[in-house]
Chain A
């Protein structure tokens, strides 16, 4: 069974731009969670989607948003990029809601200049 895939793997954007990252979960998994990892803050939960609905949300500003499609693929969007948004963005999929057993993708490394 194929693992979680994320595209693109690397991305360079300029302050003020917006970016969309994509995550394809393991086949049959219905929940997708997104995380941000920075050297200063470590790993932080962004949000979780299940059955095309956002079910949980972390403490991030409204510039961070996401969605999930009927095939469980998910996208996250960051608008009006700031330098501090430079990070590794990871998604993880699980069969069900609630992060009980998660499988992580390789991540997208975003650099904002």
Chain B
């Protein structure tokens, strides 16, 4: 069993829909990252959080340390949000990654 599990693996939605991507982990962590990877490979760090909730524009990330679970929400989704979203947890100063969620937003 992977230490970091994401769901769903693939998600297709229509423009404007509310999107939720989930991440569960099985180990004690110092922090959790949400990353975005566009075709071509470039990775952008969206959030780093160790408790509570963070918001940046249309993106919201939450974490529940007790339940070992985090969610990434996208409000009013847009085709430019199409990308792979990766959850990564910081364990002993090393990042351990989930397998990613491929999100496709159709116009």
Contact = CB atoms under 8 A, between A and B. Distances in A.
Interface in A63-106: 88, 90, 92, 97-104, 106
A99 B94 contact: yes
Interface residues of A, number: 25
A102 B86 CA distance: 14
Contact of B41 (A42, A88, A97, A99): A88
Mostly, the B contact residues are strand
Contacts of B94: 45, 48, 56, 58, 99
Interface residues of B, number: 23
A106 B88 contact: no
Contacts of B92: 56
B98 to A, nearest CB: 8
Contacts of A43: 86, 88, 95, 97
